[in-house]
Structure formats: C-alpha cells, structure tokens
A and B are shown apart, each in its own frame.
Chain A
C-alpha cells in the first residue's frame, strides 16, 4: 500500500480512539461493547477476515460449481 494511505489511515484511527475516549456515551447507547475502547477496530478487522475465510470455505467445500453446471439441462 502506498505510504501516504497508510499514514492517513493511522491518523484517522488515532482520531477515532481519541474521540471515543474523550466524549462520554449517553445512556441510550450504552451497550456492553461501547465500554471497550477500539472495539470496532477488532470487529472490523476480524469480521472482515472471518467473513472472507468462511465464505471461501463454504464455497470450496460445498457450493462452488463450474460455470456450465446448469447448461446441459
């Protein structure tokens, strides 16, 4: 990845952590995960990776077929 993109993403992440920690959360949004700072960092990263791996596994072991699978009918 280009260096400047990495830099911007890093700065944005820091900004989000700062915003999270310094502004208090109001009662309506007080779920258990709001108490963990940076929760969505892990959620995004792990979620993405798990989705990709799960989808690929689902495809490889079960659902993927050749393009012409239905054509002889």
Chain B
C-alpha cells in the first residue's frame, strides 16, 4: 500500500461546494466552473496506480484508488460537471451550484473509492445532493417527485448498506473487489442496491418520475451521474453476472417503448437513459473484455450526448416555457442553433457513423455477437431502431418541425449555446477519431468500428427506420396524456398509506389502552380492591395530543405490566 499523500479527487469539488457560499455573489458561477475544471485537470494528470489507504479501527479504508477504469469514469464525470457549470452560468442560485458540486464530487468519490464504506458514504451524499436539484424547481409536482425520489434512494441505500454489512461480516474485509456470480445473499443485496441506482426496471420509476420535473440546468447533471456511477460499480464488482445480460436487454426495449409514448420532451429523454443504460448493463452481464470495454465506452459517450440532449431540451423549455410535445412545434426558424446542436446529439445516440454513439454502441453489440448471444444482439439492434425513432425523429420533428403553435421564444443565454457546442465538439471528435476514446479504456482492445459490415448494417437500419417513421408519422402525433408505469403502485395508494401509518397507529394505541383497562378492572374487582371505574375513549380521525393523551392510569398500567413481564421471564428462565 503506497501511502504518500494523495488527495482524493472528490475533495476538489467538495471543497468548492463548501467555499462557494462564502464567495461574493458575482464570483460564484465562475468559481463553479473553476472547481470543475480543476477537478478535470487533476484527474487527467493523476498517474494510474496511486492509492491512499488509512487505518480506522480494525479496517483499512482505501479512500482513493486510481486505475484505468476509475480514471476514465473520473475524467468524463469531471468534464461533464465543467460543461454543466458553463451551461448553468446564468443561474445565480447558490443552493443549486453547491448541490451540483457535491453531487459531481460524490460521484467522483464513488469512482475512486477502494472500499465499501467510503463508497457508501459518497453514494448517500449523491442521493441527497441530487434531490436538491429536483426540489429547486419549486413547483408542486417537483416537490412531490423530489420526495418520492429521495425516499426511493434512501431505501436503495439502505439495502446497499445491509448488503455491505453482511458482506463485511462474512468476508471480514471492506475492499471493493469483483464478486463471484450467484454468491451469498450479501452479494445479491449489494447488486439490488446498485441496480436501483442504475434504474433497472422494475426499479426505474424514480428516474422517469423525477428527471422531467427537475430544473433546466439540474437535469443536465442528473442525467450524467447517478446511473453512470451505478454502471461503474457494476463493471467493477459484477462482471459476468448473467442476470445482468437479461435485465440489460429488457431495459433497452422497455425504455424505448415508453419513450415513444411519452408527451414530455424530457420524459422521452429520461426513458432513453433507461434504454441506453441497458446496453451498458447488458455489456457487464456478458463479462468479456470487449463487452466491459463496450459498457465503459458507451457510458462515456452516453454522458456526452445525453447531456447535450438535455441541454437542448432545456433550452427549448427555457425559451418557450413548455416541455410538452402537444404544445411545441415550428421552432426551426427561431431556435436554429439549438436544433443543430440537438441533432448532433440525436445522431450520436442513434449510432450514426462519424458520431460517438456509433463507435461505442457497436462495441457492446459486437461483444454480444462474439459471445454468441444472438437474441440479445437482435433485440439491442431493435432498440437502436426505437432510439433513432423517438429521439432522433419523433422528438425533433414535433418540437421543431410541424406547425407553429404561436409560442413566443425568449433568447437563449450565450453560455448555454457555448456549453452545447463544447459537448457537441467532443461527440463529433470521438466519432471521427475513435482511438482518442479507445486508448482510455481499461482492457486491451481489438475493435474496428468503421468496418464495412458495421457501416452497412447501421446505414440500412437508419435509412429504413427513417422511412418507417415518415410513413407512420401521423400515428406518432402526441396527445396530452401520461403513461402509467410501475410507480403507479406507490403513487396511487399514497393516501391509503397515510391513513395506515398516521391515523391507524394512534387508533391502535387507543384500542390497546381500552382493552387493557377493561382487563385490569375485572381483575381488581375480583381481588376486591377499590379501584375507580374506567370509561371509554372516543376515537378521532386525526391525531390531536389533547384528545388522545393517555390517562395516568393507563400509563401506570403499562409500568405494572412491564414489571410483571420482566419478573415472570426472569423467574422462569433462572
């Protein structure tokens, strides 16, 4: 264990989050950009193999471990934080800036953590910080969605924590190591906790519920970090777990189908996160070096183009105040730069040659082919069809083409366009020179994306998806509806839960008190003691301390009963 003083990279951003409230107001946006950029530089220059380990109690905590896998994730996380900070330069709300820095810093913390304890601490920080970005929108929907999001993540964190503790008691060590497939319950609990954050159905509704309701700039950060951190953990700990191949393939299609039905531009993009992460999860499930490289490369590319897509949708929302497709249309004259930059990202996500989606998605699909998982390959290609259909065709068509609904559009701040341009630049750059991305990948690579079969396959799919869309474009006309998803199970019965947990509890308390008093009355009458008669309480519909204050007699009866219990057990046991 090398123990020279390595500063964990996450601390740069966390320090920034701490300092920003103390800086003068004018400096804060610039400071936000500065700290993200400093993180990026630091991570870029940190040599592979550095470790920072400390001894706490009997455990060794590895606060920072740099290897190729963590470095590539760290680089893209820091970069997108920087792009996001440029995009949100015009936002003067300190709470959003600090929350975003904590969120990004914690994601980097998870990436470089070498032990489960550190990982878990950063994991929980991410959940709290990202909730702030949702609540910051300040409308009723965002408030409720943020609550659901927070509870969901605390729940997932609790499961992860249980898994970690069980793993610790079984193996005695906290270090982050790959777990063998089909292991003990602790591995499954950790897996469950991680896939909740990866938004694997059926645990994905927090994403589709909350992301469309977040702030314009917050959504850019949200899209990049939570799910990809989970993907990183999957790549590191669960390579080759077959269930992930199945889950990932199902995810790609699940996300795409719901995206086709969605009426909100950011809702479409949110479901697409689920779809694209499906490719990454499936790659982890395949477990071969090419597949894991593919998942990593796809995570890298996805962060870039998804952020750009959310930036574009956010720009539309900023300019018009609308995000429903039913209300948008005809913006191609007034929002031309946004349209162009958006389409660059749309081409990337659809896997157009010369953009970065092509060079990464094809790696995962080919890896599936190499492992002879032909059904998976075909399903993933089908999902590509759907991806292009919804993000590359339906969304831009109904937002920028079709007839104008008379919306006024505000001018977009320059920093938003600059940020979009910056990200778009890298989407194109990696598409044209894939080796720049490939040389960051963790495992050695023999993959040539620009081969004739790939180009033919992609070209034919894209052309004929386009034709299919054009023929059926009337059927895709949006309506002002929502699509039910698995969150129905905890949203519809919310009123019921409230009744059970609040009103129900004190009525149970009252009922118990009544029963016990009747019993004691009978017993004491039998023993001939003069005790006052007890009367019955009235039940109320909501808790009010004055009407449900337990009487002194009932409290003392509890004392007496406890004593009897203790003595009985003691005398019987001894």
Contact = CB atoms under 8 A, between A and B. Distances in A.
Interface of A: 1, 9, 12-13, 15-16, 19-20, 23, 25, 28-29, 31-34, 38-49, 51-56, 58-59, 62-67, 69-70, 73
20 contacts: A1-B470, A16-B455, A19-B455, A19-B456, A28-B370, A32-B374, A41-B460, A42-B464, A43-B460, A44-B460, A44-B468, A45-B468, A52-B476, A53-B475, A58-B257, A58-B261, A62-B484, A63-B484, A65-B484, A73-B491
B463 A52 contact: no
Contacts of B491: 70, 73
Contact of A45 (B369, B456, B464, B484): B464
9 cross-chain pairs, A with B, having the tightest CB-CB distances, nearest first: A48-B468, A44-B464, A40-B460, A55-B260, A45-B464, A44-B461, A47-B385, A48-B465, A23-B452
Contacts of A59: 261, 481, 483
A67 B457 CA distance: 39
Interface string B531-574: 00000000000000000000000000000000000000000000
Interface residues of B, number: 48
Interface string B261-281: 101000000000000000000
User: What secondary structure prevails in chain A residues at the interface with B?
Assistant: helix
A42 B382 CA distance: 12
A55 B382 CA distance: 13
Contacts of A53: 472, 475
B467 interface: yes
Given A47-B385, A48-B389, A64 B481 contact: yes
A12 B491 CA distance: 49
B466 interface: yes
Interface of B: 256-257, 260-261, 263, 366, 369-370, 374, 377-378, 381-382, 385-386, 389, 452-453, 455-457, 459-472, 475-476, 479-485, 491-492, 494-495
Nearest to B485: A63
B261 A47 contact: no
A12 B463 contact: yes
Nearest to B389: A48
Nearest to B460: A40
Contact of B481 (A19, A41, A49, A65): A65
A25 B453 contact: yes
A52 B468 contact: yes
Contacts of A32: 374
Contacts of A43: 381-382, 385, 460-461, 464
A11 to B, nearest CB: 10
A44 B463 contact: yes
A9 B484 contact: no
A52 B484 CA distance: 18
Contacts of A44: 385, 460-465, 467-468
Contacts of B385: 43-44, 47-48, 51
Contacts of B374: 31-32
A1 to B, nearest CB: 6
A45 B469 CA distance: 9
Contacts of B470: 1
Given A63-B261, A64-B261, A73 B494 contact: yes
Given A48-B469, A52-B468, A73-B491, A31 B481 contact: no
A49 B453 contact: no
A48 B464 contact: yes
B466 A9 contact: yes
Contacts of A49: 468, 471-472
Nearest to A28: B370
Contacts of B369: 28-29, 31
